[in-house]
Amino acid sequence: MEYDGILLGMGNPLLDISAVVDQEFLDKYDIKLNNAILAEEKHVPMYDEMASKYTVEYIAGGATQNSIRVAQWMLQIPGATSYMGSIGKDKFGEEMKKHAKEAGVNVHYYEDESPTGTCGVCVVGGERSLVANLSAANCYKSDHLKKPENWALVEKAKYIYIAGFFLTVSPESIMLVAEHAAAKNKIFSMNLSAPFICEFFKDVQDKVVPYMDYVFGNETEARTFSKVHGWETENVEEIALKISQLPKASGTHKRITVITQGADPVVVAEDGKVKLFPVILLPKEKLVDTNGAGDAFVGGFLSQLVLEKPIEDCVKAGCYAANVIIQRPGCTYPEKPDF
């Protein structure tokens, strides 16, 4: 089988500005742990304050990009993955290119005049809160996607993954790729990504759901999805099942829903049934931060999916990758996987 460019991701490439902060800092900027939001006016001074008050690390991030980098790392097959998104023509943008190259991901960035997007990662007790300032990432347009050299990546890919965060940027690009995947019987997958996506971008999300062959998310996002769809259930297994049974644009693939629940078992819903897979538990003292854990899970999962492995193996690989990433700052990993 030909693995060249088999997996494609599209999303918001962001440079993570990560620091261990304190509760007072979270309260000051009105941010909650285990949440992800877009920066508002009140968050603007936050980034400088982080850099001056705490020890800050700069780590290449962006949810989809993290997942693709982890998948590439797990696969160890040169040229297996590619990625598109928008960065700025600045030192953060150069940093991003350097990281992507080192990770072995074939990136086709659109380069915008605005600064490269950043994401404040505020860590307290190993848990993280994300505040994204999209900036250049917000400037991605389907014109870039339609250029022959970029659309070639879509043509080549057999599996496509896009985090829900990209719904706020270019739903048009997502629909183009989703429709292509349906027409060509490819596997199209997305992530619920954050409560605010399910809540405030419900209409665009609902438009793409029929095209999703795999839906990823965590328990909080699943419950928010349930609430906004009036399902009146908090039961994650039930919600996963309901999501898997929503109408599909193409009958080629059934939909499979995969919901992570932190240290609790991973919920997989397919064919009207739910399976639970326990995760590898990590002693609290080994936890560095949960930043990138969900992204890493998806990356590990996709790495086995493209190899056409059974779902148990995909989940196992996802759990392995997440376990590695939570023992390190941000979405970083050792040179070789031990999977």
Q: What are phi and psi of 130, to 5 degrees?
A: -110, 135
The residue from 4, 90, 295, 313 that is catalytic is 295
CB distance 16 to 95 below 8 Å:
no
C-alpha–C-alpha distance, residues 218 and 209, integer Å: 16
CA angle at 217 for the pair 161 and 197, rounded to the nearest 5°? 85
Q: Which of 309, 61, 35, 30 is nearest to 197 (CA)?
A: 35
Whether 4 is a known active-site residue: answer: no
Per DSSP, the three-state class of 314 is: helix
What long-range pairs does 269-275 form, CB within 8 A, spacing at least 24?
269/237, 269/240, 269/241, 269/243, 269/244, 270/244, 270/311, 272/241, 272/244, 272/245, 274/237, 274/240, 274/241, 275/311
C-alpha–C-alpha distance, residues 126 and 107, integer Å: 31
**Tokens coding 11:** 């999303």
CB distance 40 to 269 below 8 Å:
no
Which residues are catalytic, by number?
Answer: 295
